[in-house]
Amino acid sequence: MRQALASHAVIDQAIGVLTVLGRISPDDGFTVLREISQHTNIKLSAVAEHVLKYAQGAALPDVLLEEVRSALTRHTGGDRPL
């Protein structure tokens, strides 16, 4: 139960990061996070952890960086916030 709650908190925080970076709604932030997970075959919680680390100054793995850019571009009408 604690693991699930912790995972949910990390996902919510990552949605917040994507919302700020992409200037998108929280619903779109979740959609972007889900798309990244599906397109890279990386668990949603692991993608969320990488996004949070990126917000704290760490580099994103190349595969995630490209997918974040692509997903945000799809949801921002062509702007590339990263």
Scored b (16 or more CB within 10 A) or e, 40-68 reads bebebbebbbbbbebeeeeebeeebeebb
CA 2/CA 67 separation, integer angstroms: 30
What letter represents residue 76's amino acid? T
25: its two tokens: 């709604």
pLDDT per residue as tens digits for the range 63-78: 999 999 999 998 887 6
| pLDDT of 4 higher than 80 | no
The pLDDT of 29-43, averaged and rounded, is: 96
What share of residues in the chain are helix, strand, coil (percent, to 5)?
75, 0, 25
Question: What's the predicted TM-score (pTM) here?
Answer: 0.86
